[in-house]
Structure 1
Amino acid sequence: MQKRFGNQLVIPDLSFTVNQGEFITILGTSGSGKTTTLKMVNGLCQPSAGEIIINGQPLSKLDLVQLRRHTGYVVQQIGLFPHMTVAQNIAVVPQLLHWGADKTAHRVRELLQLVQLAPAEYADRYPAHLSGGQQQRVGVARALVANPPFVLFDEPFGALDALTREDLQHEIKRIHGALADKTFMFVTHDINEALFLGNRVLVMHEGRIEQFAAPAEIVSHPATAFVKKLLGTVRQNQNLWRQQDD
């Protein structure tokens, strides 16, 4: 698969397979092509060459509106509607799918409990009355409400403080473990986040795959000089903390 923007070739050659139920993290620096890759998977932009296959069907042959309604999408700027309550925000997709009121209300309560926001306390709040971490939890609930087989995350925790981010990393990992056969693809530029969350980590650089392997394999056997350099940033921080302890 290739992707061009005008005369600029941003993804020269990309080919990989994600298995059902995996939690894949896509790691790379700015401009590595990771967000573009996610957008192509969701049909938000089209590959310039090659094909994306989802459940054995070419993406180009699928109804993209239906695909997106059945694909969860969580971004850094959560995009909650400020004039709607938490419950109403989560219920947007069920309304588009013409769910009944009882089914929608039941699903909203179920998802609020899953993301550990008590329905009685949070369902009728407005986004302005939530913390950044709480808003992001609502964003995750909204992405999961239609029970999608795929959920795509584009640096969802990038704007949060370190403690909130760590808390949500544990939450999203717990949520994935609680959901049967859901496939998560999670874009990040944070190597610690990628290694903690992913069953496998796809390391990208300049539109190419540097390594696609389990976290332990990447740490013990970095495949390229770029991956080794990324790991070096983690070791540098570890050395700093050791110096403080000495």
Structure 2
Amino acid sequence: MAKTSIQFKHVQKSFGDNLVIPDLSFTVGAGEFVTILGSSGSGKTTVLKMINGLLEPSAGEILIGKKTLADQDLVNLRRHIGYVVQQIGLFPHMTIAENIGVVPKMLNWTPERIVSRVTELLKLVQLNPTSFADRYPSQLSGGQQQRVGVARALATNPPYVLFDEPFGALDALTRLELQREVKRIHDSLGDKTFLFVTHDINEALFLGQRVMVMHAGRIEQFATPQEIVAHPATTFVKELLGTVRQNQELWGRDHD
């Protein structure tokens, strides 16, 4: 594996008396695309929020790069972690170019550098800069807005990008198109660590170089998609795979 990018060492997380992460340890290599698969309440979003310091672990240690989270300036860290969420969160009163340039502007980039970066990123997510830079979010489709969300997450060229079920509200065709796009972007950038949370097993297996299957705050299996399909490690993973096969059988039977 490449050098370590993100590491959890015996991390616990409680909300009051509710222990949602009992004991979590894993390592993600630099440049990996890891999907985190789990149903509601599995702890997958909590993991993302602990990585960028939005939530503090109740116990254990989190390392980002070579430094523990506790030793980092969290405001500065977050400015160097891309974050893409389902709600997108574009500022409606700002143009697309202004939305993408928000964090670079906060970091005092020159206007020329911001314009150059915005143009580069719009091309990367396959939105024509001439056509889209001066539009407003309300003038874009949901899929186009989510492309802008990805561009904004990449604005400062961060080493880490976190995705929290970003395509969950999109129609099936748009979702598939964006899955392919995000995979292409990761491949083209080469050195970015992507962590992508989803409850969709097909999405997890398609996107992830490795898939972390979570249930009740624990890791059931953390392996390549091929290994998970061929050798599911637990009953829970077998049941997950079974739902996919069952849906395929139902579809085939109903359309014979």
- Aligned-partner Cα distance in 2 for 1:238–1:178: 32
Aligned-pair distance for 1:244?
4.1
Alignment correspondent of 2:158: 148
Return the match for 1:158 from 130, 154, 168.
168
Task: State yes or no: 1:230 paired with 2:250.
Answer: no
Task: Provide structure 1 residue ranges, at least 5 long, that are not aligned to the other structure.
Answer: none
Per-residue CA deviations over 1:116-148 (Å, capped at 9, x if unaligned) read 000000000000000000000000000001000
- Aligned-partner Cα distance in 2 for 1:123–1:166: 24
Alignment correspondent of 1:199: 209
Q: Structure 1 length normalisation: TM-score?
A: 0.99
Alignment correspondent of 1:43: 53
- Aligned-partner Cα distance in 1 for 2:33–2:200: 16
Please, what is the CA RMSD of the aligned residues? 0.7
User: Once the two structures are aligned, what percentage of the paired residues are identical?
Assistant: 73
Map 1:1-246 to 2 at 5 A.
1-244=11-254, 246=256
The count of corresponding residues between Structure 1 and Structure 2 is 246
Aligned-pair distance for 1:54?
1.2
- Aligned-partner Cα distance in 2 for 1:245–1:49: 52
- Aligned-partner Cα distance in 2 for 1:150–1:178: 15
Q: Indicate the SS of the match to 1:116.
A: coil
Aligned-pair distance for 1:241?
3.0
**Structure 1 segments of 4+ aligned residues over 6 angstroms from their partners:** none
Q: Indicate the SS of the match to 2:23.
A: coil
Supply the AA of the counterpart residue of 1:24. V
Higher relative contact order (CA 8 A, sep 6+): 1
**Greater strand fraction, Structure 1 or Structure 2:** 2
Per-residue CA deviations over 1:18-54 (Å, capped at 9, x if unaligned) read 0000000000000000000000011100000001011
Per-residue CA deviations over 1:170-217 (Å, capped at 9, x if unaligned) read 000000001021000000000000000000000000000000000000
- Aligned-partner Cα distance in 1 for 2:121–2:241: 36
Supply the AA of the counterpart residue of 1:21. G
- Aligned-partner Cα distance in 1 for 2:190–2:109: 22
